[in-house]
Amino acid sequence: MHSEAALSGENLVVDPDLGPLAWVLDELRKSLDGATKALKRFVRDAELSRGSDLAALDASQLRIARQQLHQAVGALEMVGLEVPAKMLRAMEALAQKFVQRPESCSDDAAMKIELASFALTDYLEGLLKEKSPSSVALFPQYRDVLEILGSDRVHPADLWAHEWRWIDVSVPDPVSPLAYDAAVRARMDGYVLRVVKSADVPSALAVADIALGFAAAQSHLHTRVFWTVASAYFEAVALGLCPADVYTKRATSRVLLQYRSLAAGEADVSDQLVQDLLFFCAQAVPSATHHAPALRAVRQAYGFTNKVAVDYVKPQFGRFDPALLAQARKRISAATETWSALSGGDTHRIKVTVDQFSLVSDSIMKLHPDSRELARALTSAMDSVARSGLAPEPSLAMEVATAVLYLEAAYDDLDPTSTQMGERSHRLAQRLDHVLAGGQSEPLDVWMEELYRRVSDRQIMGSVVDELRATLGEVEGSLDAFFCQGNWRKCVACSRYLDWIRRLWLHCACATVSLSVWSMRLILHPRRQVFLKNWATVWERWVS
């Protein structure tokens, strides 16, 4: 399953080190969970004290929530994830507002913070799984938090991790320079008004042409870039590549305000406005038939290579309660084990298997109602086995095993932006119905064969990682003993451990890592008389 591509200039420019994130993610989850639980406890206590003076209510739970969120902000800033940290700072500011005004902490507000924490966790997990999720997709939850907070600015571009800078854009179609004058201002006023009211295409194209004329007349880089980007933005509006929402309307109106200030002789150009216009240019993906010279030039100059726009209106992250997901994974794992035993002839497990698959179907319906057909087919298969009192036929055993394997993989690596789950669940239900009707198993679909291979590879890699962790723990313990006791025998043991790790990485076709381990082994070789004084620092950096 593939996630929606992030806007170019986002994850490509800002490429965080995922190693530190892997270390802090569990603690981050605990902090977010602690914060939401503290807010819920306060709301519950406030409900019980309804009618009394809320100012006299104990606000310690609110202070705990604020502290937990503050720690989470620090953790994300420490690992260099500034955009998610911005969302957490908004949540922390809201918690601070609750501390100062406890009456503003309602059940709805606590729920919005909880949903924001779910979304943030989903996004960070997607980063670790290298799905390249777009931080812009966090905007629905970010917007909800800022609206409760009463923030002056709420804009999806604030979650766009683009490294902003002024770039002189060369537009291929030459235009005549155009000066600021009263006649142009009158035309601009009319065109912009029609664009704001009805996204009028001729008016948007006219403003795009005027902006290019202004750009050609500018000698200052900032004003020239501003008008070129503005031209690209209005081309996108004319082509229908920008949503006609409140954010584009505000951007359009602000272009007119910026024009008035420039025409009045002011030289300053709003960085924020240019960034907002660039955000919409990144969102706008012209097709091969679209005539958009300025938009293409801006996208090329700023390196926007994305093929799709990010939906910043419909929630993509945080749609599922992590507790429900964990429960579903446990249920599917238990059902997999009992179904395997039942397929092997252990008929004593029929009732347990039926009960467990009933729970699996319940989780499917809660998390993904579009897969209701698969839940129904699994229930029918269990009813058939319960009525017969016998182990399932090989064909039925294979189809149920395939369905459970798919569910296990799907919920372990859930992609909130994917539309494949409903389609594949329907296909699995069809195969189950066919076997239950007396038919023979059909050949595996291509995606099913790929699923089996991927699960097998993951199991093998999981075993390798577990062994590596254990061995690295032994190496670290031996190094600690050497530094504390000066015992060279511990370095001999480290040399053997590192040689094993080197061979393992070589077997996994990771030659660079294997060479790195080999270099460290040479340092620790018992015949080597010189030991690097900064070896501890080298080791800690490599392990992390």
Domain segments of the chain as ranges: 18-151, 182-301, 322-442, 450-543
- Residue identified by tokens 């969102």 is 283
- Residue identified by tokens 């029918």 is 380
Residue among 448, 357, 329, 331 at smallest CA distance from 399: 448
E strands present in 70-184: none
Q: Is pLDDT at 540 greater than 70 in this prediction?
A: no
Stretch 111-129: mean pLDDT: 89
Percent above pLDDT 90 for the chain: 40
Buried b or exposed e, range 473-502, using 16+ CB within 10 angstroms: eebbebbebbeeeeeeebbebbbebbebbb
Structure confidence by residue, pLDDT tens digits, 454-489: 777 776 776 777 777 777 777 777 777 767 766 666
Structure confidence by residue, pLDDT tens digits, 226-267: 999 999 999 999 999 999 899 999 999 999 999 999 998 888
The token pair at 494 is 């480290």
The token pair at 307 is 């093929």
pLDDT band at 528 (very low <50, low <70, confident <90, very high): very low
Buried b or exposed e, range 186-223, using 16+ CB within 10 angstroms: eebeebbebbbeebbeebbbbbbbbbbbbbbebeeeeb
pLDDT band at 382 (very low <50, low <70, confident <90, very high): very high
Say which residue, 266 or 541, is predicted with more confidence.
266
Stretch 300-320: mean pLDDT: 87
Distance CA 227, CA 141 (A): 33
- Please tell me the predicted confidence (pLDDT) of residue 502: 74
CB count within 10 Å of CB 524 equals 26
CB count within 10 Å of CB 442 equals 12
Distance CA 177, CA 223 (A): 13
CB 124 within 8 A of CB 322: no
- Please tell me the predicted confidence (pLDDT) of residue 16: 59
Say which residue, 404 or 12, is predicted with more confidence.
404
H or E, element range at 209: helix 201-216
pTM of the model: 0.74
Q: What is the mean pLDDT of the chain?
A: 83
Written in H, E and C, the secondary structure of 375-444 is: HHHHHHHHHHHHHHCCCCCHHHHHHHHHHHHHHHHHHHCCCCCCCHHHHHHHHHHHHHHHHHCCCCCCCC
- CATH top class, domain 18-151: mainly alpha
Say which residue, 221 or 22, is predicted with more confidence.
221
Structure confidence by residue, pLDDT tens digits, 153-164: 999 999 998 888
Say which residue, 119 or 479, is predicted with more confidence.
119
CB 543 within 8 A of CB 472: yes
Q: Is pLDDT at 220 greater than 80 in this prediction?
A: yes
- How large is the greatest C-alpha to C-alpha distance in the chain, in angstroms? 90
Distance CA 32, CA 39 (A): 11
Percent above pLDDT 70 for the chain: 85
CB 36 within 8 A of CB 145: no
The token pair at 138 is 């966090």
Alpha-carbon 36 to chain mean position: 20
Q: Give residue 426's identity as a one-letter amino acid code.
A: H
Q: Is pLDDT at 297 greater than 50 in this prediction?
A: yes
Low-confidence winner among 177-181, 267-271, 302-306, 455-459 (lowest mean pLDDT): 455-459
DSSP tag of 317: S
How far does the chain reach from its first CA to its final CA, in angstroms? 28
Stretch 436-440: mean pLDDT: 87
- Please tell me the predicted confidence (pLDDT) of residue 492: 66
Residues 6+ apart with CB under 8 A from 10: 134, 135, 136, 160, 161, 162
- Please tell me the predicted confidence (pLDDT) of residue 104: 87
pLDDT band at 125 (very low <50, low <70, confident <90, very high): confident
- Please tell me the predicted confidence (pLDDT) of residue 251: 94
Structure confidence by residue, pLDDT tens digits, 421-430: 888 889 999 9
- Please tell me the predicted confidence (pLDDT) of residue 3: 38
Structure confidence by residue, pLDDT tens digits, 31-64: 999 999 999 999 888 887 765 655 567 788 899 9
Distance CA 440, CA 437 (A): 9
- Please tell me the predicted confidence (pLDDT) of residue 228: 94
Stretch 144-169: mean pLDDT: 91
Residue among 341, 354, 345, 346 at smallest CA distance from 386: 354
Distance CA 296, CA 93 (A): 39
Q: Is pLDDT at 366 greater than 50 in this prediction?
A: yes
